A and B are shown apart, each in its own frame.
Chain A
C-alpha cells in the first residue's frame, strides 16, 4: 500500500483534512484518526479513478496559497472549496469536488480499521459507536442509557453460525440445452419463480449478470456495503445509472443513488430492509374506491390512477406462500377493539398468524409508540422477514447495527440465497449462469424464444427456452423491452401500444429529523426493520373530505445509524466542515433520530421511463431516462404528513427538528411501474400474471408491474406477484405441451 500523492500534495491534503475535521480540545483531528492515510492509500487502490480529482483540487488550493495562508486564510479557502468557487477546481458530473472529498474523509474517520482509516478505532471512540458487534440486549436499547461496550472491529468477530456456502453457479460459456424457462436476473423475483418452476418439474436456466455470493461478504462493513455512493461496489448497475429530469421539457442529468442497487446474485434481496408488509385491501381498487367515495373531481390533475387487475383475495394465497418461504416475524393485526391485536389495525385479513413473534420493541420504538398513542394513533411493529427464532437452518436476529443495505451476517434476514435457492439448486433442475449480461430478448415470429447475453470477455450467446421471464429491476425490465425489437414490435417488446415505461413511481423520503439533545437514543442498535409505525394517516384510513389531497403516508421510526452516513446528516444551520461540524456530530451522533415518511406516490401521466439517446452504458447502449416529479397531490400531502411527524417528534421529547424536502428524487429502491399490469392492452403492458400482452412466451415481473405505490414497502407484494406469475408460466407450458400432443 503506497501513498499515491507527492510529499507536497500530501502535506496539503493533511492540512485540508485537519481544517475540515479539526483536532479539538484533547480530541484527535482527521489526520490523527487516519483519514488522510486512508484516502492517500485508497487513491492507489479502489479510488484510483479519483486521483486526478484530488490532484486538481490540491493544485487549485496550492495556487490559491493554501499552504502559506494563516488560520483564517485557510478557513476562507476551504469555504471557497465547499462553495465550488475556487478557481481551477475539477467539475465532476453530478457532484462537486468537495462532495466527494467530504464523503471520503468521513469514510476515513469512521470505516472499519480493516480499510486503513479510523486508526485504533479512534473515530468510533470519539462518537461512542461500538463498531462490529452483535447480540445487543433489550436493555442496551433503552433511551437515555449510553452503550457501555468498547468498540470492536470486524476482525474480532467470531463465526458462530453455521450457514450456507456460496451458491453453485456456472460461468457464462454458451447456451444450455433443454431449458423450459429462461429467467433473466438472479434476484429475489427470479429466484422465487425458479423455485416454483422446479417444484413443477421445469428445467430452468437463470441468467445473472453479476457473480455468485452468499450475501454475507460485506456484513457489518459500512464502507464496502455503501461504496455504491462512490460508484464502487455494484457490478453492473454503475455503468447503467439512469438519467433524470423533472418533466419532458427539461434536460436529463445523471441521477444520484439514494440507495444502492445490487447487481450480483440475490440482487436487492441481500440489501433490502426486509419489511414484509402486505398491501391494504383497498390498494388494489384505488381508482374505483376513491371515485366512489370522493367523486371523479377529487382525482388530481394528470393522474394515472387505475385499479389493479386482481383483488387482495386473488393475491392473498401468494402472500401466504411468500411469507412462508421468507419466514416473517410480526404481530397479526386487525381491529384493536377486542383488545387482542398488537398489530396493524388496518391490516388486510390474513388466515394465519405470522411465523414467529415480531422483533422486540426498542427504547426509541417505545418512545414513538407512547407519543403516537397519546396523539390517538395506533402504533404497531412492522412485520419483517427477519427471524426472531431459529428457523429452517437460519439464525435468529442478533440485533447488530448493520441491516438495510447489508447482507445479514447470520442469515436472520431473508435473502434469495438463504430461502429459496438451496432447494431450487438441489433439485438439479435449476442452472444459474453467472457473468451473463442480457442485452436483448430474442423472438421468432413475434414469440419470445430466448435471451441474448454477453460474457465478461465480450462473447455473445443466445440462451433459448420455451418461456422467457424478465425479472431484473424496474429500470432494466423496461430497458430490455425497449431495446428488444423485431418486425412485429418495432418500438420494443410489449410496446405496440406505447405503454412500456409509463407511470413510473418512486418513493420519496421526506423524513423529519429529530434531535434529542443530551439523550442517547442508541439508534445504531438493532435491525432497521425493528420499527414502530402508524398507518392511521395512510391510504384512506382517515377521512379526506376536508383535505386538499387524497391518500396519505406511513410514519415510522427505524433503526440503523452508521457513522459514515450519519456524519453527513446535518441540520440546515450546521456547516459541513470545521469545528462546528465536528462538534455538532460528536455531540449529537447518538441523539439524532428520524421520523421516516413513506408517502403514497400516485401514478402520473408526467412520470415515465424511456431511453436516453445521449447517455449510454459501457456497451454503448442507451441508459434509462427517468422523467419524474411529484405532483400537486404529493406537494400538498407531504408537508401535512411532516407536520404530524413533527408533532409526534415533539411529544417524544425532541429538542429540535428539521425536514427533508418533499422531492427527494428517483432510485429509491421503491422504483416501480414501467411495465404496468392491467386487463386492457391499450393501457397496460402485461396482464395480471406478468404475461406481455403483445409478445407470447414473455413474462415480465417485478416492481415494474405495479399499478400504484401504496405507502408500504413493495417487496412482499413483488414476491407474491412473482409466485402468481410462476403458476401461470407452468400452466402455459402445460397448455403448450397439450397442444403439441394434439
Chain B
C-alpha cells in the first residue's frame, strides 16, 4: 500500500492538512491510533476558542487567514461545527493590567488585526453580566468559538470524500530507509509507504520521533477544562480571557459555560492520559466566577483533561525535518484557531515548496541547551498557592 502523503494524527491540525491535500488531488492517508479527536488528545479536550488577538508576531498572518476562513468553513465542510462569532474579549481588572491591554491593542493593530479598545461601559454593553471590576477590554469582534471534535471529524469526513484513505484504530511507527522516512508500520504488521509522512501527533510526537534520534524541544502537558450546568442561552456572547487570570471562559450553544486556561492536569500513568486536579479546578472556577459572578450559583457537571504538546518558545514546529518527514506539532494553546490556515499552507508547502509564511516555524530554528530543555520539561504540574 502506498500514498503520496501520510498524515499521522487526526486532530484538527492533521485533519486540516489531510483535507487540503486531498482536495488538491494528492493521494493521502490520514491515520490515527484512535480516531478524530479522541480522548485524551488536545483536539478532543480543547475548549474551542477562536481567538485572533494576543498572538505572537509570526502567528499573525496565519491568524488573519484563518479568521477569514472560519465563517465559511462549516459550509465548505457541510457540517455543523457549533461555530459562533460573538467576538473575543480580553479584560483588565486593575490599573496596572490596563497597560497590558494597551500593549496588546498596539501590537495587534501593527499586525493588521481589527481590534477595539473597550471602556468599562462598552464592556457592559457587550457582556452585561461581566464583573463591574472589568476596567478595560481588548475586543476582536470576528472571533468566537467552534467545537474542535466536530471540526476534526468534519475534516476527516471531507478528506475521505475527496479521496483520502482513513485508517483509524491502530498505533503506527515510522518506517525508515537510512535517514529517510518512507512511511509507517502499523501494530498489526502491515505497512503503508509514502514520499512524505506528516507527523501531526501532538503529545504523541516525541515517542514517534525518538527512534530517529529527533528530540524536539516540546513537552506533553495535560490541560484541564471545566463545564457548568446550563444557564439561559445567550448570556455571554464573547469568549473571555483576563490579563490577571489563568482563564478562558465561554458560553456554549447549550447555555453551559466552559472554563479553560492553562491549568495543568495530573498524569494518570495510563499512556498520555491525564486527569483534572481538584485543587486546580477550585481555583479555575473561582477565577471564572470572579469574572462572571453568576457562576457562583452554578454547578460543575463535567471536567476533563487532554494532553497537549507545548513548545519551549510557544510557537509550533511546522516544516520539513528529515528526508520524507514533515512536522506539524507543538500548537498547545493556539492551534485551533489557525488550523484551517495551517492546513492550507502545509498543503501548499508540500506541493510548491518553501511557503514563506511557515518559515518562522521551521523545526530546526531552536537549539536549546540540555539544561534549559530539562528545566522546561520538569516544570511542576501542581501550582503551589
Expressed in whole angstroms, the minimum distance between the Cβ of B299 and any Cβ of chain A is: 8
**Whole-angstrom distance between the Cβ of A365 and the nearest chain B Cβ:** 20
Q: Which of B245-273 contact A (CB under 8 A)?
A: 252-256, 258, 270-271
In which size bucket is the chain A interface?
20 to 34
Q: A135-B255, A158-B254, A426-B271 given as contacts; is B35 within 8 A of A165 (CB)?
A: yes
Instruction: Assess whether B38 is interfacial by the CB under 8 Å rule.
Output: yes
B residues in contact with A135, CB < 8 Å: 229-230, 254-256
Partner of A160, one of B169, B271, B302: B302
B residues less than 8 Å from A426 (CB atoms) = 270-271
Given A135-B229, A390-B303: A165 in contact with B82 (beta carbons within 8 A):
no
Q: Mark A155-181, 1 if CB is under 8 A from B, else 0.
A: 101111111111010000000000000
Q: List chain A residues, Cβ under 8 A from B253.
A: 158
A78 contacts the other chain (CB 8 A):
no
Q: Which of A157, A165, A166, A396 contacts B302 (CB 8 A)?
A: A396
Q: Does B225 reach chain A (CB closer than 8 Å)? A: yes
A393 lies within 8 A of chain B by Cβ: yes
A168 — nearest CB in chain B belongs to which residue? B169
Q: Which B residues are in CB contact (< 8 Å) with A393?
A: 39, 275, 304
Say if the beta carbon of A509 comes within 8 Å of chain B.
no
A355 CB, min distance to chain B CBs, angstroms: 15
Closest Cβ–Cβ distance, residue B150 to chain A (whole Å): 7
- A161 and B34 in contact, given A135-B229, A168-B169, A395-B227 (Cβ under 8 angstroms): no
B75 within 8 A of A: no
Interface string of A121-154 (1 = CB under 8 A from B): 0000000000000110000000000000000000
Question: Within the assembled complex, what's the spacing in Å between the Cα atoms of A168 and B300?
Answer: 30
B146 to chain A, nearest CB (A): 11
Q: Which residues of B contact A158 (CB under 8 A)?
A: 82, 147, 252-254
Cross-chain contact B270 with A157 (CB below 8 angstroms)? no
**Taking the complex as formed, is A594 at the interface, i.e. its CB lies under 8 A from any CB of chain B?**
no
Task: Judge whether B256 and A160 touch: CB under 8 Å.
Answer: yes
Please report the C-alpha to C-alpha distance between residue A389 and residue B228 in the assembled complex, in whole angstroms.
11
Q: Is the CB of B44 within 8 A of A162?
A: yes
Alpha-carbon separation in the docked complex, A164 to B302 (Å) = 13
The verdict on A398 contacting chain B, using a C-beta distance below 8 Å, is yes
Flag whether A612 is at the interface (Cβ < 8 A): no
Nearest CB in chain A: distance from B231 CB, A: 9
- Give Cα A395 to B227, complex, Å: 9
Interface size of B in residues (CB-CB distance below 8 Å): 32
Given A158-B254, A160-B252, A423-B270, A395-B302 contact (CB < 8 Å): yes
Q: Does B301 contact A (CB under 8 A)?
A: yes
Answer whether residue A77 sits at the interface, using C-beta atoms and an 8 A cutoff: no
A410, CB-defined interface residue at 8 Å: yes
Complex: how many Å from CA A394 to CA B39?
A: 12
B45 at the interface (CB under 8 A from A): yes
B149 within 8 A of A: yes
Task: Please indicate the chain A residues that have their CB under 8 angstroms from the CB of B147 in the complex.
Answer: 158-159
A162 contacts B82, C-beta separation under 8 Å: no
Query: B38–A161 contact, CB under 8 A?
Result: no
A470 CB to closest chain B CB (Å) equals 28
Residues 115-152 of B, flagged 1 when their CB comes within 8 A of A and 0 if not, give 00000000000000000000000000000000101100
Q: Which residues of A from 374 to 429 have beta carbons under 8 Å from B?
A: 389-390, 393-396, 398, 410, 423, 426
Pairwise interchain contact B227-A157, C-beta atoms closer than 8 A: no
Pick from B80, B150, B302: contact of A390, CB below 8 A.
Answer: B302
B271 closest partner in A (C-beta): A426
Q: Given the complex, which residues of A lie within 8 Å of B271, measured CB to CB? A: 426
Question: Which of A134, A135, A157, A165 has the most B CB atoms < 10 Å from its CB?
Answer: A165
- Shortest C-beta distance, A601 to chain B (Å), equals 38
A738 to chain B, nearest CB (A): 31
Given A168-B34, A395-B302, A426-B270, A162-B149 contact (CB < 8 Å): yes
When C-beta atoms are compared, the residue in chain B nearest to A212 turns out to be: B169
| Interface residues as binary, B48-81 with A (CB distance below 8 Å gives 1, 0 otherwise) | 0000000000000000000000000000000010
A155 to B79, CA, bound (A): 11
Tell me the complex Cα distance, A273–B253, Å: 29
Report yes or no: B301 in contact with A398, Cβ–Cβ below 8 A.
Answer: yes
Distance in Å: Cβ of A323 to nearest Cβ of chain B: 21
Q: Which of B317-360 contact A (CB under 8 A)?
A: none
Cα A168 to Cα B230 in complex, Å, equals: 32
Contact in complex: B150, A159 (CB < 8 Å): yes
**Complex Cα gap A393–B40 (Å):** 11
Q: What B residues does A164 contact at CB under 8 A?
A: 38-39
Residue of A nearest to B82 (CB): A158
Q: Which residue of chain A is the closest to B258 with respect to CB atoms?
A: A160
Determine if B254 and A157 form an interchain contact, defined as CB atoms under 8 angstroms apart. yes
A389 to B306, CA, bound (A): 20
Contact with A along B292-310 (1 / 0, CB 8 A): 0000000111111010000
Residues of B within 8 A of A155 (CB): 80
Contacts of A396 in B (CB 8 A): 229, 299-302
For A163, the closest partner residue in chain B by CB is: B39
**Docked-complex contact B302 and A162, CB < 8 angstroms:** yes
Q: Which residues of chain A are within 8 angstroms of B275 by Cβ–Cβ distance?
A: 393
- Complex CA–CA separation, A149 to B58 (angstroms): 47
Q: How far is the CA of A393 from the CA of B255 in the complex (A)?
A: 21
When distances are taken between beta carbons in the complex, the residues of chain B under 8 Å from A166 are 35
Distance A165 CA – B275 CA, assembled complex (angstroms): 17
Q: With A168-B34, A395-B227 in contact, do A159 and B302 touch (Cβ < 8 Å)?
A: no
Name the residue in A158, A163, A166, A426 with the highest tally of chain B Cβ atoms < 10 Å from its Cβ.
Answer: A158
Q: Is the Cβ of A161 less than 8 Å from the Cβ of B254?
A: no
Task: Verify B252–A390 contact, CB threshold 8 A.
Answer: no
**Residues in B whose Cβ lies below 8 Å from that of A423:** 270
B153 to chain A, nearest CB (A): 10
Mask of B28-50 contacts with A, CB within 8 angstroms, 1/0: 00000011001100001100000
> With A and B bound together, what is the CA distance between A128 and B7 in angstroms?
49
Closest CB in chain A relative to B219 CB, distance in Å: 22
Q: Cβ of B45: which chain A residues have Cβ within 8 Å of it?
A: 162
Q: Are A160 and B39 in contact (CB under 8 A)?
A: no
**Is B304 in contact with A162, judged by CB distance below 8 angstroms?**
yes
Residues of A close to B34: CB separation below 8 A: 165, 168
Q: Which 4 residue pairs across A and B have the least CB separation, nearest first?
A: A135-B230, A395-B302, A158-B253, A165-B38
Given A162-B39, A162-B225, A423-B270, 6 extra CB contacts under 8 A: A134-B254, A159-B82, A162-B44, A162-B302, A163-B39, A393-B39
16 pairs, A vs B, C-beta closer than 8 Å: A134-B254, A158-B82, A158-B252, A159-B82, A160-B258, A160-B302, A162-B149, A165-B34, A165-B35, A166-B35, A168-B169, A390-B300, A395-B302, A398-B301, A410-B302, A426-B271
